[in-house]
Chains A and B, each alone.
Chain A
């Protein structure tokens, strides 16, 4: 029971952890950009009246929201290479899985945000002679984005947390490096505690910022 804590051994491998942190950040950045922008396209497509746009977008959203990310990542890593003539790297598999999953979730955020704007705003824009696309870009989206901001930062936090799943396909990120250090030093307690703390310290300010955004939004729109 009297376990002797020893964190020194973990910090001997700071370089490995930093290497992992860079991997985490790289994956995070890729998935954030791909996920949120693809999500906007799909969200708009779901909003479109045309069935040819609307239907595939809906199917995409439903599929990726209703399957676990880890299954998607493993599918891209193990299954997709059977279909395509090139290698799938761990980074590619993880980025594909997490980005497409985030795209599906953020598409719903965009759609909800756009729908929350009063019809009067559409009518006023159309009355000025704007096209549907102009109204969307100049009038609706700027208002909707403000309302969606807390949900989007929340998504960003989720993406950051999901990046750990890349360790399942041996992509070098924080958790993967943690596994390495823990097996080198036989000190899983210290290592995984440090990893958990790193994530907490990094993400908690973002969580607080999201809360603050939510409060500000609730107060006055």
Chain B
């Protein structure tokens, strides 16, 4: 019978905590760049101009279709050779996950935008608004409200995906856990605790997302008329 011993984990709690902070840092950075970039990609794809729509479509499909770990390796190992810059694990991770989540956010934006009834466009245009004005004032505010659940889900997926940075030696929670496990020879306890931390943090976000979703559904403002 295995004898559990969590003391070695507790002794290294500061390392785990620092790992969690780093995980949140990568997630936050990727969100901060990924959401605006995703909006730009969605608008480009919807622009109706082929020279904009086509490249945007390609970026979106490519980054949604290829495995994130392959992307990360490409940005970490390959890109520095190509452009001769020093690539830190954090930079590679931020770059990969910003673009990757932008591709997913773009589809969320696009779905939200096309879900708005034609009548809204017509009413905006009938008032004399230009297409950009209609998009900014009338369509996007409504679309964003509908997209919030999908947004939260994507953000949670992103946080889970950031564990991949451990494979390029960025000191996120998973990487720290692995280090501690090797140092203390207590992989069972360390990985169990790490899984527990991820579970707690992500579940917390999920519950918040669900709560928000329910509030939006009740207020009735997420539906039209």
Residues of A within 8 A of B (CB): 1, 3, 62-63, 65-72, 74-75, 78-80, 82-83, 157, 160-165, 167-168, 175, 178-179, 182, 188-189, 191-193, 195-196, 199-200, 203-204, 207
Contact = CB atoms under 8 A, between A and B. Distances in A.
Nearest to B160: A68
A175 B69 contact: yes
B65 interface: yes
Interface in B123-171: 156, 159-161, 163-164, 166-167
Q: Is the interface of B mostly helix, strand, loop or mixed?
A: helix
Nearest to A70: B163
17 contacts: A3-B82, A66-B203, A70-B163, A70-B164, A70-B174, A74-B177, A75-B191, A79-B191, A82-B2, A83-B188, A168-B166, A175-B73, A189-B82, A196-B66, A196-B70, A200-B65, A203-B66
Interface residues of B, number: 44
> Which 8 residue pairs of A and B lie closest in terms of their CB atoms, listed nearest first?
A188-B77, A78-B187, A68-B160, A161-B67, A82-B188, A189-B78, A68-B163, A164-B67
Contacts, number: 121
Contact of A204 (B65, B74, B178, B202): B65
A204 B65 CA distance: 6
Contacts of B67: 160-164, 175, 199
A175 B160 CA distance: 20
Given A79-B188, A83-B2, A192-B70, 6 more contacts: A1-B83, A66-B156, A67-B202, A68-B160, A78-B181, A193-B78
A199 B65 contact: yes
Interface stretch (B10-18, B28-36, B38-46, B192-200): B192-200
